[in-house]
Amino acid sequence: MAAPTIDHDVVSVVRAAIEKHGRNRDAMIPVLSEINRVFGYVPGEAIREVRKQLHDPARQVHIAESQLYALTSFYDMLSTKPRGRHVIKFCENAPCHVVGGKAVWDGLREKLSLNNGETTPDNKWTLVTTSCLGLCSVGPVLLIDDDMYGNVTPEQISEILEHYE
């Protein structure tokens, strides 16, 4: 996705996310998730705008930019930099590793010419590792956008990726 270029767009998106999810600390992750969904990541301008719109001394709501950056960088579903149209999350936990995960990971990296956290030059793919996708019984596991793939072998990678052409 293209980076936002007009401040007004960021302001509108942040305002809509806050109106939808609320103006308190409990709403921070849903607000940031909404922004991430719209832009494909959480731009720095959006973090500054969230802080600006939520700062309310009367209600004792004080959220530092650093807290918002920490939330955005901590959670795997959020990103502080643009990602590709399709995000591949690969489980790197031990259960997936012991049933052939390394070979699948190496196959993905080779097929896409990417390392962890990188995006293809055409912005089609982003490849990231995650600690667990919750499907240990069918590892190795991939999550592409919202689609789960279990018992993945290196030989299946090309066929799986073709579904997103």
Looking at the fold, whether 59 and 101 belong to one and the same domain comes out as no
Identify the DSSP state of 89: E
The answer on 96 and 41 residing in a single domain is no
User: Would you say 87 and 130 are in contact if contact means Cβ atoms under 8 Å apart?
Assistant: no
Q: Which of 74, 104, 128 is the last residue of a domain?
A: 74
| Number of structural domains the chain divides into | 2
- Would 101 be classed as within a structural domain? yes
- Could you tell me if 154 and 117 lie in one domain? yes
Helix, strand, coil percentages in the chain from 3-state DSSP, rounded to 5: 50, 15, 35
> What does the pLDDT look like over 128-156, one tens digit per residue?
998 888 888 999 999 999 899 999 999 99
| pLDDT tens-digit series, residues 4-27 | 444 559 999 999 999 999 888 889
Q: Provide the whole-model pTM.
A: 0.76
Shared domain check, 69 and 100: no
Can you tell me whether residue 121 is helix, strand or coil? coil
Q: How many CB atoms lie within 10 A of CB 131?
A: 8
Question: Domain boundary residue among 27, 47, 74?
Answer: 74
Instruction: Please indicate, yes or no, if residue 55 is contained in any of the structural domains.
Output: yes
Asked whether the bond before 121 is cis by omega within 30 degrees of 0, the reply is: no
Q: Does residue 108 share a domain with residue 64?
A: no
Asked whether residue 30 is domain-assigned, the answer is: yes
H or E segment at 118? strand 118-119
Residues 91 and 132 in one domain: yes
